[in-house]
Structure 1
Amino acid sequence: AVRGRVFVLPQPVPQWLSKSFVKRTNRVRDGKLHLFYPAADYSHKNHLLLSKIDEPEAWPVEQLTLTIDPLKNPDNTWSSISCVGLINSDQMLSFYRSCDALLFLSNEESFGFPLVEAMFCGLPILCPDLPYARTLCGDEAIYFEADNVQSLQSAIMELANRLDAGWWPNWEGALESIPCSWETVAEEMLKITTNK
């Protein structure tokens, strides 16, 4: 019913990030993964997928940082999960400088800022195989089925193996579709409405 009436428009990189010097080209440490998921505790952000993990010690993850209240930790049995609550832009930059990849679990997304931010920083991305993510990330992200914990585990294992083999993503192609400003986004919206 809505075919041809829904449009996905990328958004620009936030100013606090575009003015930073965070440009990653490799890992900062060897060993198990350090993953970062910056998202509020809304149900569509899918944090509860982590509560379905059995045998977390089998996952190649040393640290998974979530930006939710520690009381909302989806899996208290997994010592690798760290819930740090709401963080500011300087703290975001610190995590982007130090993590191995962005983990994005969201089942639905309106803007997907962390995906754009991670691409701008040059980070690997693990995200659901959903249209919003494919539109932004193309073929360079590592995808998993949104509500399938085994698929998530396979994606994390694939990331670990790729990084061990020296792989790092190249986001140049995907970033070409990212507008330089909100004015550009507004112009695209106007084009859509006037071409109806």
Structure 2
Amino acid sequence: MHVAEARHPAMAAQPRRRETLAVYADLRWPIGTGIYNVMEAYISRAPSEIEIESLSVAGGVARPLTPLALRRALRAHSSHEGVFWNPGFVPPAGSLPERLQSVVTVHDLTHRHFYGRTHRIYYDLVFRALYRQCAAVVCVSEFTRNEFLEWSGMPSDRVHVIVNGVDAAYARNRETLDYPFPYVLYPGNRRSYKNLNRLIEAFGASGLERSGIRLLLTGNPDSSLVDHARRCGCEAALAFTGVLPNEAMPKLYRGALFLAFVSLYEGFGLPILEAMASGVPVLTSNLSAMPEVAGQAAVLVDPLSVDDVATAMKELGRDHVWRAKLIARGYERVRHFDWDESAAKLWSLVDDVGSACGKSR
């Protein structure tokens, strides 16, 4: 099945090669996930010479046997010159024909750090070898590239940094969701490295609840988090958005007092940019890729220190002048993360890999 997506106007008039390049892609990433949003941003900006075809792949999108399923799906195209592109992190199993090479995006190595011993072993024994067979690996930050290179042993000239951008909808939007209370926002999943227990403890210690401010988390209520908030004395100030559609997210950000994103690990940290584009101050961690993304436009804290996080939350909740300075810096910072520029780099890399495939015939 061919992907028939509207081409982004900034990319439509930029022919890069005389012949069409077939790009076979695994496009099954679920709507609402970060990988889906990245995938859509790239597809909508693909030049007309890039013909993207969605592979018919059996099984889950990121299960242990997915590399084998990808290889089986690619066999149907083994006689054609082209490139396999995965906007996610899963490479195909085994070597591919010379005329069909792989480009895979690695967003982070969380599976090695936070998903248990089995995931780590699988990455070390299976994924590491498969990545080495790719023509190119794209990392979303210098932090991720450095970590990936050290772990994989892959030649550095085949590992590239192409940063994420931020959807223009965040900067365009001026509406909010009209919550009847001011709120500190955490948008994201609830995996252990997101550090939500310490975030709740810090909010409880900040005293912001006494000013009527709530800590608002995306998604449905979580009994373990509610219990933790009760132990911290801030249960009444913990709120949940429920499941929101993608188009509601800019409104959710715009209404926030500030973003609290104090993860222990991120390969990038897209909420940092989404908040900045929305005119919202950012509180984030001084670990992994977050300082790289935030630059000087956010408050950086030690995410392991509840006192450090609580002090910063208290200041951001009460100092209007400081928030205004951070908002101005955020607007400037977010200009360095442009989807048009990133898409041009990605498709240029894919084109280079495709050209190399043609020369190898």
Task: Bin the TM-score by the shorter chain.
Answer: 0.7 to 0.9
**Helix, strand or coil for the counterpart of 1:167?**
helix
**Partners of 1:172 and 1:97 in 2: CA distance:** 13
Tell me the equivalent position of 1:21.
173
Report if the CA contact (8 A) 1:23-1:120 is conserved. no
> Unaligned stretches of 5+ in structure 1?
none
Report if the CA contact (8 A) 1:34-1:100 is conserved. yes
Tell me the equivalent position of 1:10.
163
Deviations 1:114-143, CA, capped at 9 Å, x for gaps = 111111112100111124111111112012
CA-CA distance at 1:33 after TM superposition: 5.5
Tell me the equivalent position of 2:339.
180
Q: Assess, with a 3 A threshold, how the Cα gap between structure 1 residues 17 and 58 changes in structure 2: closer, same or farther.
A: closer
Matches within 5 A, 1:156-167: 156-163=313-320, 167=324
Report if the CA contact (8 A) 2:186-2:217 is conserved. yes
TM-score using structure 1 length: 0.75
Higher relative contact order (CA 8 A, sep 6+): 1
* Matched length: 184
Report if the CA contact (8 A) 1:11-1:113 is conserved. yes
Aligned with residue 136 of structure 1, among 274, 289, 293: 293
**Partners of 1:147 and 1:158 in 2: CA distance:** 18
Tell me the equivalent position of 1:114.
271
Residues 1:36 and 2:181 aligned together: no
CA-CA distance at 1:152 after TM superposition: 0.6
Report if the CA contact (8 A) 2:316-2:323 is conserved. no
**Partners of 2:268 and 2:186 in 1: CA distance:** 15
Aligned with residue 97 of structure 1, among 247, 250, 254: 254
Report if the CA contact (8 A) 1:23-1:121 is conserved. no
Tell me the equivalent position of 2:218.
67
CA-CA distance at 1:51 after TM superposition: 4.9
**Partners of 1:66 and 1:90 in 2: CA distance:** 17
**Helix, strand or coil for the counterpart of 1:155?**
helix
Deviations 1:42-61, CA, capped at 9 Å, x for gaps = 1111112135459x275224
**Partners of 1:115 and 1:143 in 2: CA distance:** 11
Tell me the equivalent position of 2:243.
86
Report if the CA contact (8 A) 1:8-1:132 is conserved. no
**Helix, strand or coil for the counterpart of 2:289?**
helix
Q: Assess, with a 3 A threshold, how the Cα gap between structure 1 residues 189 and 178 changes in structure 2: closer, same or farther.
A: farther
TM-score using structure 2 length: 0.44
Q: Percent of aligned pairs with the same residue? A: 20
Q: Assess, with a 3 A threshold, how the Cα gap between structure 1 residues 135 and 53 changes in structure 2: closer, same or farther.
A: closer
**Helix, strand or coil for the counterpart of 1:2?**
helix
Q: What is the alpha-carbon root mean square deviation over aligned residues?
A: 3.4
Report if the CA contact (8 A) 1:16-1:89 is conserved. no
**Partners of 2:312 and 2:160 in 1: CA distance:** 28
Q: Assess, with a 3 A threshold, how the Cα gap between structure 1 residues 132 and 185 changes in structure 2: closer, same or farther.
A: farther
The AA in structure 2 aligned to 1:41 is R
Higher helix share: 2
Higher-Rg member (1/2): 2
**Helix, strand or coil for the counterpart of 2:163?**
coil
CA-CA distance at 1:113 after TM superposition: 1.8
Report if the CA contact (8 A) 2:217-2:241 is conserved. yes
Deviations 1:69-126, CA, capped at 9 Å, x for gaps = 3124523421111023332223322222211111112211134221111111121001
Q: Assess, with a 3 A threshold, how the Cα gap between structure 1 residues 13 and 23 changes in structure 2: closer, same or farther.
A: farther
CA-CA distance at 1:40 after TM superposition: 0.9
The AA in structure 2 aligned to 1:67 is T
